[in-house]
Structure 1
Amino acid sequence: MGIYGKYFQKYKIPFLTAIFCVSCEAFCDLLGPTLMARIIDSGIERQDTGQVLHFGALMILVTGAGAVFAVIRNILASNVSQRAGKDLRGDLFEKIMHFSEAGADRIESGSLITRMSNDTTQVIQFINGIMRIFMKAPVTCIGSIILATFLNWRLSFIIYGVVAAVAAMIILSMKLSYPRFAVLQKAMDQVNRVVQEYLIGVRLVKAFGTYEEEENQFNNVNRNLMDSSIRAQMIITYIAPILNLTVGIGTAAAVYLGARLFKIELANPGDISAFIIYMAQILSSLLIITNIFNTFVRTKASTQRIKEVLDQEEDLSLPEEMAYQADGSGTGEEGRLKGEVAFSHVTFSYPGGSGLPVLEDVSFHIRPGRSLAVIGPTGSGKSTLAWLLLRFYDADEGEVLLDGTDVRRMDVRTVRQNIALVPQKPMLFSGTVLENLRWGKSDAKKKEAEAALQAAEGSFILQAAEGLDKNLGSAGVNLSGGQKQRVSIARGIIKNAPVLVLDDATSALDAITEARVRKNLLQGRQKRTTVFITQRCTTAMAADDILVLENGRCMGYGTHEELMENCRIYQEIYQSQIEGRR
């Protein structure tokens, strides 16, 4: 049953009940032509009113029973398909939440949105269809063939020929449709990607006035989606009329042959009438079966895309019985690490990248409560240090140590509970300021939030009329770049983790505000280890030690005074930033 096995087990009883109701409904539909044949042969032809009333009453009873079964299976189908869809979306979201960085790099966000919405909807429709009509069509088709054979085996050869021809066309349709629907889903990914990128960069588009370029890009992917959809639907467009023609020819042949058999008394009028109705039912069933297979082909493409998400590797971790755990959970005193950080001969290159090392043989050590500044040219591997420390990736060679333990031997939750990250690009969420700060500490009190904002020089929030209840738009759209960075820093402070990593987190702040924030952070450094990843010498000079990187290699390590004496790279950065201003 593949990836849907657990959903079938969960909803097995209502699913099987719906299938039972569909089968009973199909049985009731199949009885109709046979009862009508009896009305004609036993009642009308013999002018027996009693037989007409008897079989007519049976037809009404059977039709009513079929209607009851149809209502029940519709209710069950809607309920089960929507619940299964909810569970599937939940599983997909949970999986995405646990993506490793390497896994997240493989599938872009626009494609993930399509898979969680459009592909999941396709699966829901397929489940609903199976429980409503997909099972009924084969049962009705096979039942009609069997009953038509019992009515008159001579006429039934026409049915066998029609079914064989239709089966061949269905197989051809499936082979041609699958690759086209796979291309269609990818085209939908591209439309979502373009729209998402525009919404994220809407201010940049306005600033550069690139409306025409954006419209052209969207028109291109939108036209590609239209063309892909037309190509995918074209198979059905051709097959459906041919099916109608095939079954129509079969029906005409049945009428003609029936008339010939009636002349030589090998067929009754009722049998011929019932046979024609069965042919109509077979036509309807075959058209539905064709749609079933085309829907199945599209669902198969969607299922494959969903499976790609569910099969992605999860966040780096060990089984709980093997993993190093802190003495407790969270960042409370019992579960709190000391905050000692060390890199020992670490070499790393990004999966799927150029293959060249981003970091090469990097080593340093930070004692608990001390501060380290990491400085170097753009692309020197500074941010990669933070990703390895947080176990977004694992080192190819060497060890990344927390309190003397290799992070690869620690549960990833323990690692991240003891590290607070303030990223270079602040990511805020829609909701109040307090709700955003509570990402750092879910049970934070308002006083703690106010203290964290003051330490991050975020008093502008407290001075606003709404205060901590100020609503932020999506991604903090109603704050300036510097304001967003200060709220992001406050979120890192409120976590009160033993290790605080600031990845160029003050780049949007002016020199005076940045100096105040740095001073506030270092005042409490006896309680935490602080890592500044920065481009600014003024920030680096305030740290206890400085690590200088260039092209992923450690070019210098020590205090500001030591590096000014023996590190050429640091001297050049200092001269360009400090002495160059004089």
Structure 2
Amino acid sequence: MATTEPVSTLTDGTDGSASDDVTPASEPSGTARDATADQAAQGRRMLIGLLRPYRGRLAAALLLQAVGALAGLAPLLAVIELGRELLAPGPVDHGRAWTSVVWGAAGLLLRVLLTAAAGGLGHLVDGELHLSLRRSLAQRLGRVPLGWYSHRSSGEVNGVVQGDVDTLHHLIAHAPGEFTSAVVVPAASFVYLACVDWRLTLVALIPVVLGVSVHRLLSTEERRREGMAVGQAMGRIGASSVEFVEGISVVKTFGGAGRVHQRYRRAADDFADFFLGYVAGSAGLASLSALVLSPPFVLLLVLTGGTVLITEGSMPPADLLPFLLLSVALTAPVAALGHGMDNIHAAERSADRIHEMLSVEPLPRPVHPAAPHGDRVEYRAVGYAYDDGHPVLHDIDLVLEPGTTTALVGPSGAGKSTLAQLLPRFFDPTQGSVLLGGADVRDIPDEELYQRVAFIFQDVRLLRATIAENIALAVPDAARSEVVTAARAAGLHDLVQTLPHGYDSVLGEDTGLSGGEAQRLGIARALLIDAPVLVLDEAMSFADAKTEAEIRRALGVLCAGRTQLVIAHRLQTITRADRIVVMEAGRIVESGTYSELMAAGGRLADMWQAQHGPGAGPQGEAHR
């Protein structure tokens, strides 16, 4: 099917397989707990590393916020002093009263100015960090092996580039000010109140002690693991949502909407059960924490203690006023710290995922660039194994002579796509070499390689850009006449003429393309590149009979005289191929023409009978 992407997500890659359903995690073992702790520590190190270049400006923001927080106490202290003056016996000292008002107003103004400066500096650093991270991610994603994307969904990649980078916003722009206020304001308030009456100060600290104790119960290692599991589950649900929406047209076409919707709904229900269990485990403690730190509870406790001291005659009534104004300042930041720690843990996890993506090994650039001479393709003793050591190709020797068509057939998992993707260098073989025109593809610069090798796969990626820009993706300086010529040859021109703005119609805004139409656009791209070598992965997988005929005609124009490597799932499409290669378990088990292999009665004959029934003859046309 066709997938329309914004222009800015050109390096996001292609979709992978659907995400697994969300299931609650079982009680972790000691090893799992150690791994979680190590991951959290690594996240902190990654976070510190990301922030290191900005530590000077962040320190300045902290200093501004600290002074601003202290200045913010001035209005409260002014009210206290004004209250003492008004409640004192005898005439009111107007000069002293107005002095308190002026100092309070000045403190308020200073707080506003310093807090705004601190916030502005924090947001400036946040913007620079976001820009730097996204540039680094885009640069790295543009250099990683294209095969890396086949194991990751677009939702997962976007979750790091967009979501995880955005998660750092609160930590940079807001958390420093919140944490500074959470330390400075209670400390200053405590010192002032202790000087007024140490006994009532101890009473005012009771909610703080209770709140911190409850918060510690909510911040155990087990709760942190559960929080990480919730974050991972939300990421899987997000990726599942993207894939469900992107795949709905194909699903509906083949009548599977009910089954796919049921799988998605089951995944969402499993996540909901998991999340409700996570919330239920902390709801009681969270409610208790909110209660003991709430202003009504704090004021009730202070009023009770103050009433006892005043009625005993051991404290003047006027001394109760500072406790009524400042005791809440002791507890409010503690409540904010709980949310702040959650944001810090989330930022640590995001920093770890960002670092993981930035650490993906890019394809090495050629040390000694080589230019291919001719279009002969040769696989020499090629083997490939994924990162987990699982081998998928074993000692492949294969030659594609110029101007010939070679078809790869075999069951799913035989290694056909992996073998084909080594030619345009989606990744490098772990053994042996792939040569184009006598040069190892690892020694051919990317620009040269992709001018010589074009590929059309089942899922054509479309940008949220004009039709013309999508066709000229690999040749951005192509003239409009060249774009139109390629579209005509691909059988797309008549459709484009019916669109509101013709070739300037924007995909995803002015129009959309069906799967068959998108595949014709992919053919137009390849025609415009005019590459002598083509890799085709069942380019008609989503086409109906009429569209298939049109795509066949377009492929006939595209493939004429070119060296072709075709991955075939429907055998009738490759009966006239110059060579058919049958693969099983990462090995070549048969090779020859259609007539030779059918006469031999081997694996190709068995596959043909499985698809068409005993005695069926060849049908359809080859990709030639």
2:586 to 545, 549, 552: 552
Q: State the AA in 2 paired with 1:198.
A: F
**1:65 aligned to which of 110, 124, 134:** 110
Query: 2:216 corresponds to which letter in structure 1?
Result: I
The residue type paired with residue 59 of structure 1 is G
Contact 2:76 2:104 in 1 (8 A): no
* Structure 1 residues 301-345: Cα deviation after superposition (integer angstroms, max 9, x where no partner): 44444444444x244x22x4x634246xxxxxxxx7633321112
Looking at structure 2, the residues matched to 475 and 306 of structure 1 have their Cα atoms a distance apart, in angstroms, of 31
Counterpart of 2:564 (choices 521, 530, 546) is 530
What residue identity is the alignment partner of 2:408? I
Measured at CA, do residues 6 and 221 of structure 1 come closer, stay the same or move farther in structure 2, by a change above 3 Å?
same
Note if contact 1:375-1:546 (Cα within 8 Å) is conserved in structure 2.
yes
Percent identical: 23
Q: Is the 8 A contact 1:326 1:337 kept in 2?
A: no
1:553 Cα shift? 2.6
Q: Deviations over 1:483-531 (max 9, x none)?
A: 3323212211211334322223255477865664455345444xxx433
Partner of residue 171 from structure 1, selected from 216, 228, 231? 216
Whether 2:381 is the aligned partner of 1:325: answer no
Mark the CA change 1:107 to 1:427 in structure 2 (over 3 Å): closer, same or farther.
closer
Q: Secondary structure at the match of 1:579?
A: coil
Q: Distance in 2 between matches of 1:107 and 1:427?
A: 15
Measured after TM superposition, the shift of residue 561 of structure 1 is 6.8
SS in 2 for 1:342: strand
Q: Distance in 1 between matches of 2:569 and 2:269?
A: 44
SS in 1 for 2:72: helix
Match of 1:348 in 2: 384
Q: Secondary structure of 1:135's partner?
A: helix
Q: 2:243 aligns with which of 185, 197, 214?
A: 197
Structure 2 residue corresponding to 1:242, chosen from 292, 295, 312? 292
Distance across 2 between alignment mates of 1:384 and 1:580: 27
Letter in 1 for 2:430: D
**Which residue matches 2:172?**
127
Q: 1:133 Cα deviation (Å)? A: 2.9
Quote the Cα distance in structure 2 between the aligned partners of 1:35 and 1:61. 10
> Following the alignment from structure 2 to structure 1, what is the Cα–Cα distance between the partners of residues 600 and 132?
60
1:564-575 correspondence to structure 2 within 5 Å: 568-569=602-603
CA deviation string 1:113-155 (max 9, x = no partner): 4445554443323333224433212211122122223334454
For 2:479, the equivalent position in structure 1 comes to 445
Counterpart CA distance in 2 for 1:580 and 1:376 is 15
**1:286 Cα deviation from its structure 2 partner:** 2.0
Instruction: Measure the CA separation in 2 of the matches of 1:326 and 1:243.
Output: 70
What is the CA-CA distance between 1:9 and the residue it aligns to? 5.8
Deviation of the 1:568 alpha carbon: 3.9
Structure 1 residues 449-491: Cα deviation after superposition (integer angstroms, max 9, x where no partner): 2333344344534765779616364599844544332321221
Q: Deviation digits for residues 232-266 of structure 1, max 9, x if unmatched?
A: 472533421133387457524652564378x34xx
Q: Write the mapping of 1:297-446 to structure 2, written as runs, cut at 5 A.
A: 297-311=345-359, 313-315=360-362, 317-318=363-364, 320=365, 323-326=367-370, 338-351=374-387, 355=390, 357-367=391-401, 369-379=402-412, 380-408=414-442, 415-446=449-480
**2:316 maps to 1:283:** no
Match of 2:527 among 485, 493, 503: 493
Deviations 1:532-569 (A, max 9, x none): 33356776565555444344332344566766776844
SS class of match (1:424)? coil
Are 2:186 and 1:141 equivalent residues in the alignment? yes
Q: Which residue of 1 aligns with 2:36?
A: none
Change (3 A) 1:102 1:546: closer
Contact 2:540 2:551 in 1 (8 A): yes
Q: Report the alpha carbon displacement of residue 45 of structure 1 after superposing the two structures with TM.
A: 1.8
Q: Distance in 1 between matches of 2:151 and 2:556?
A: 40
> Within 5 Å, which residues of 2 pair with 1:111-126?
111-126=156-171
Which secondary structure state, in structure 2, belongs to the residue aligned with residue 398 of structure 1?
Answer: strand
Return the alpha-carbon distance in structure 2 between the equivalents of residues 105 and 309 of structure 1.
Answer: 15
Match of 1:330 in 2: none
- 1:259-291 Cα offsets, whole Å, 9 max, x none, are 378x34xx5555442244221211222222233
Q: CA deviation digits over 1:27-78, x for unaligned, max 9?
A: 1133344444444556652533332222232222222322333344444455
User: Any unmatched runs of 5+ in structure 1?
Assistant: 328-335
In 1, Cα distance between the equivalents of 2:138 and 2:250? 30
2: distance between equivalents of 1:339 and 1:307? 40
More displaced stretch, 470-479 vs 336-345: 470-479
The total of aligned residue pairs comes to: 561
Q: Deviations over 1:199-253 (max 9, x none)?
A: 2332355457666655555554444555555534725334211333874575246
Task: Using the TM superposition, give the Cα deviation of residue 411 of structure 1 relative to its aligned residue in structure 2, in angstroms.
Answer: 5.6
- Equivalent-residue separation in structure 2 for 1:303 and 1:236 (angstroms): 27
Q: Say whether the 8 Å CA contact 1:375–1:536 is kept in structure 2.
A: no
Q: Residue 325 of structure 1 aligns to a residue in which SS? A: coil
1:333 equivalent in structure 2: none
- 2:70 aligned partner: 27
Distance verdict in 2 for CA 1:97–1:477, change over 3 Å: farther
Q: Residues 484, 343 of structure 1: CA spacing in aligned structure 2 closer, same or farther, 3 A cutoff?
A: same
Q: 1:23 to 1:459 in 2, by over 3 A?
A: closer
Change in 2 beyond 3 A, CA 1:96/1:522: closer
Distance 1:41 1:483, change over 3 A: closer
Contact kept, 8 Å, 1:346 with 1:397, in 2: the verdict is yes
Give the aligned residue type for 2:340. Answer: I
Instruction: Report the equivalent of 2:100.
Output: 55
Say if 1:422 and 1:505, in contact at 8 Å, map to a contact too: yes
In structure 1, the residue matched to 2:306 is 255
Check conservation: 2:499, 2:511, Cα contact below 8 A.
no
C-alpha contact 2:66 2:184 (8 A) present in aligned 1: yes
Q: Secondary structure at the match of 1:201?
A: helix
* In 2: Cα distance, 1:372 partner to 1:213 partner: 38
For residues 226 and 257 of structure 1, what CA distance do their matches in structure 2 show? 50
Q: CA deviation at 1:421?
A: 0.9
Report 1 or 2 for greater relative contact order, CA contacts < 8 Å, sequence distance ≥ 6. Answer: 2
Q: TM-score under structure 2 normalisation?
A: 0.75
Does structure 1 residue 188 correspond to structure 2 residue 231? no
> Structure 2 matches for 1:27-106, cutoff 5 A?
27-41=70-84, 44-45=87-88, 47=91, 48-78=93-123, 80-81=125-126, 84-85=129-130, 87-89=132-134, 91-92=136-137, 94-100=139-145, 103-104=148-149
